[in-house]
Homo-oligomer: A and B are copies of this chain.
């Protein structure tokens, strides 16, 4: 112990990456370099696509892919998590910016920067308050239902884009849908279909082909991950060559040249106040999703995620995003898996990727303007469809009906009520059912054998007494279960009307809260009025200490406190 205390404050304790770099070799770097390049190839189109998905100019996604991942790389405990713009946070930002309250504030860019800043501050506050355990409030089925629902919303917003359509607003009017479909743009549709086919081809089919051609694994990975970039390049070239901008094919549009300026001028009191609850939701989801993804890859390599350090790392990453003009960031599922399977060993890979993004922003911005939105929609669709987990819903439903209902209700809630409302509903549902389960008492009637040993009567064939009711309470007595415990005792007393003494065996009772104490007081009085006594046995010292502060033990007399249940059985039985 002493050598820990006398150790000088170690800077690498706060920067996990520095610790890893101590034993960092050439092989490690070449792995990270390769993974970083591959991830950057995905990050460029995703950055632009998610900004547009959020209803923001493309640079907010690009800027969010440069400094924030570097901040996370220095502070985070996951070695492979790819932090940057993500689809779920993007759709949440889109839904916040679209609410009437927020849209009247004007300037969506400013609002988005405020969201990033607030998400960062909230995550840091959570870290200070050690609220990393907050993830425990959300069950996997609720999270999966939420993700599936959000993914379906994204699909619904992106599918029409493949044909250059806006999302329909027709309700059940068939004619309206017909008119809507007629407004599809043929060039865009061809573009969208082409991009989607290319992306599908770059999935399984290409891998199978390359394996047949005995291409080595590294090259195979590199080629198959280039799908999105190649799609974007080919689509952009087609736009330039056929001059599709004239054919009303929607393009990304102007992207500022060069680097973002660091600034905090966007902060303003009124929008900051209005956006605060939404920021809290985005922060919560960003944290929960990032932790979940980080754990998956860490588990696969036997590494460890430290929730509180993740809060700090994600908080700083979002603050950095805000200051450098980026949208809110989190750990992205598809990118992290790409980074991981491309062989990333440390966060150095993400620093490489960020560097490439930086170069891209400096040198290729003019090119980004001609990327057709349909190509980006195709990339989003390919990244997102996996998140609609139908099989997961079926499995959950089969395994545990309650969890299945929670997953389905969350999904439907997200689709019908809205993103924040849906997940709130799911969390309330699971916490409520958890509390209901808690309120069922863990409790057992106890009997004795000839030798005076006491044992649970439902498990062992022991005699119970005529005038004595021994009941073992097997958990702390609190407001959540005291009602059920009372009911249980009353039922037992009705079954055995000759009972003169009730003994509560408190071996497993770690605490009796104020509500339970009051209720036990009432119970004691009603027993006394019926000429019966309440007794306690095997209570823990700390519980007795608490009771001694009140006059409960005095009011209990002639009821007694027994150290051993056997003594109670001997004296009262």
Contact = CB atoms under 8 A, between A and B. Distances in A.
A435 interface: yes
A552 to B, nearest CB: 9
A179 interface: no
Given A141-B514, A141-B515, A434-B478, 10 more contacts: A133-B483, A136-B483, A302-B529, A399-B546, A399-B550, A403-B514, A434-B435, A437-B476, A437-B478, A442-B475
A431 interface: yes
A221 interface: no
A182 interface: no
Contacts of A475: 442, 475
Interface residues of A, number: 49
B479 A136 contact: yes
Interface string A302-315: 10000000000000
A268 interface: no
Interface in A496-518: 508, 511, 513-515, 517-518
A133 B434 contact: no
Interface string A125-140: 0000000010111111
24 contacts: A133-B439, A133-B483, A136-B480, A139-B478, A139-B513, A141-B514, A141-B515, A299-B526, A302-B526, A302-B530, A395-B550, A399-B549, A399-B550, A400-B513, A403-B514, A431-B431, A431-B435, A434-B435, A437-B476, A437-B478, A437-B511, A442-B475, A442-B508, A475-B475
Copy number in the complex reads 2
Given A299-B526, A525-B299, A550-B395, A479 B514 contact: no
Contacts of A396: 514
A211 interface: no
A530 B300 CA distance: 11
A445 to B, nearest CB: 17
A438 interface: yes
Given A141-B514, A530-B302, A483 B135 contact: yes
